[in-house]
Amino acid sequence: MKPRITVLTLGVADLERSLRFYRDGLGFPTVGVIGKEFEYGAVVFIDLQPGLRLALWPRRSIAHDTGLAEQPASATEFTLGHNVSSREEVDAVMQQAEQAGAAMVKPPHDAFWGGYTGYFQDLDGHLWEVVWNPEWAE
């Protein structure tokens, strides 16, 4: 299998609430909820970059589609990394997320490895790291 990820799907409790957080709060462009005509089909797609989308899909729909029972969420099983080009941009993104309703997990700080990073959780507890790494070009 060639490693290629095209969609990252986040299970959400309330699709409309998550849509408002990502679209209105964080400014992610999307056409909104599609697939409402199907019992388990309502979903939001957000283009992150060419060839990569973020999907917001109700947890009950994921459970139905996979045949697995819904399980408690755990923020420490998966993180989303958002790399930015400066320390100031880390601060700005963290502030924007907080204003959108995110829970601040760890405020921006100097990291032991030489970068600058902070963590927030979206409305469903998904963990985002906002990071400036001086070794990585954006």
Structure tokens, 91: 């601060």
pLDDT at 73: 84
The pLDDT tens digits for 92-111 are 999 999 999 999 999 999 99
Task: Provide the residue type at 132 as one letter.
Answer: W
The whole-model pTM stands at: 0.90
- The total of other beta-carbon atoms located within 10 Å of residue 40's CB is 14
E-state strands within 1-138: 7-12, 33-34, 43-49, 52-58, 79-84, 103-110, 116-121, 127-132
Answer whether residue 138 shows pLDDT above 80. no
Structural domains in the chain, CATH included, are 7-66 (3.10.180.10), 75-132 (3.10.180.10)
Q: Give the integer Cα–Cα distance in Å for 128 and 131.
A: 10
